[in-house]
Amino acid sequence: MSTGGVMLVAVQHTGGARGDGLTGAEAKVAQWMRTWTGDFGLPGVTVFNAVTSTGMADALVLSPYGCVVIEIDGFTRRQDGALHAPADGAWQVDGQPAALHSQNPLDLCSANVKAVRETLRAAGITTGTVPGLVVLLPTPGARVHLADGAETDGVVVVLAPHQKPLRQYFHTLCRSQKVWDANTVAAAARALKLTEHVPNVLELYQHGIPETIYSPQDAQEPAPPPKPAPAPPTPVAVAPRRGGTTRLVLVIALGLLVLVGLAWLVGTVYDVFHGPTEVP
């Protein structure tokens, strides 16, 4: 699976004879990550010895998939059998204390996961999750395997006698949804005080971190066209009401007609009874 990016590796706190402050299992994991290019590349930045509000994380990985908090430990001697890794209590291999530098690396990783989550939340970065990863390196030739239940609160335990199991974890991560663009990665680096070791936005983009994050479900459906306004009702012609003046004129005209009719009738009756008498 090609991710189209290169894993950048930096160390926040350096020192010691090696010059980078990394020894043992941490140095081995850093060496592996520096070779992850091409088909094995992961676009992102890994900062080793990164300080958190509760202590120091062995490594923080900032990528388009969020921030992964890593705790790295190695067996101090060969042990074979089933590794029981409870969230609380000391780890054991077949009933014997696990020959690790820490009694419970899961507990250390969980504390740093919570610290990183709180720091990012306080900076307003709420997208994505902050998973934790415990990487254990057995001694060469050891036959040790994880018992059931070696996971809690989003923290996964990976046994890595070689780099393939660790690389597989990040390849699985790369199949998840991208949640951070270059600006968000840079903002996370500022919140976690890693800016000295994380490139600027342009360089992050050039190393395979997307410029923007687009999610199809974020696209809003276009609003439906507005419905045409209903046509105004056709006005109905209403006969104008006759005013008082018109009514008065009609009454007067009717009265005159009545008077004329009466005068005619009286004249006619008079002529009938009082007309001139014919002389023989």
- Which range is least confidently modeled, 76-85, 98-107, 221-230? 221-230
How crowded is residue 87: how many other Cβ atoms within 10 Å of its Cβ? 14
Check residue 23 and give its pLDDT: 85
Span 104-147, pLDDT tens digits: 999 999 999 999 999 999 999 998 889 999 999 999 999 999 98
SS3 31: helix
What is the DSSP code (8-state) at residue 115? H
Res 180 pLDDT > 90: yes
Q: Above 80 in pLDDT, residue 206?
A: yes
**Percent of the chain as helix, strand, coil, to the nearest 5:** 35, 20, 45
Q: Is 112 in a helix, a strand, or coil? A: helix
* Burial class of residue 253, CB neighbours in 10 A (0-12, 13-18, 19+): exposed
Residue 171 CA to residue 41 CA, distance in Å, equals 9
215-238: pLDDT as tens digits: 544 445 455 555 655 656 655 555
As given in the structure block, the two tokens for residue 274 are 């009082």
- Which value, to the nearest 10 degrees, does the dihedral of the CA atoms of residues 52, 56, 61, 62 take? 20
Residue 203 has pLDDT above 70, yes or no: yes
Long-range contacts of 221-228 (CB under 8 A, 24+ apart): none
Q: Where are the domains of the chain?
A: 7-214
Whether 99 and 76 have beta carbons less than 8 Å apart is answered as yes
Is the sign of the CA dihedral 256, 261, 267, 269 positive or negative?
negative
CB atoms within 10 A of CB 91: 23
**Rounded distance between C-alpha atoms, residue 69 and residue 113, angstroms:** 6
Which tokens belong to 149?
Answer: 């239940």
Q: State what percent of residues in the chain have pLDDT above 90.
A: 49
Helix or strand holding residue 251 (H, E): helix 244-274
Q: Is 108 helix (H, G, I), strand (E, B) or coil?
A: helix
Cα 149 to chain center, whole Å? 30
pLDDT tens, residue by residue, 32-64: 999 888 777 788 999 999 999 988 999 999 999
- How far does the chain reach from its first CA to its final CA, in angstroms? 151
Q: Which residues of 199-230 are buried (b: 16+ CB within 10 A; e: fewer)?
A: bebeebbebbbbeebeeeeeeeeeeeeeeeee
Give the pLDDT of residue 216.
47
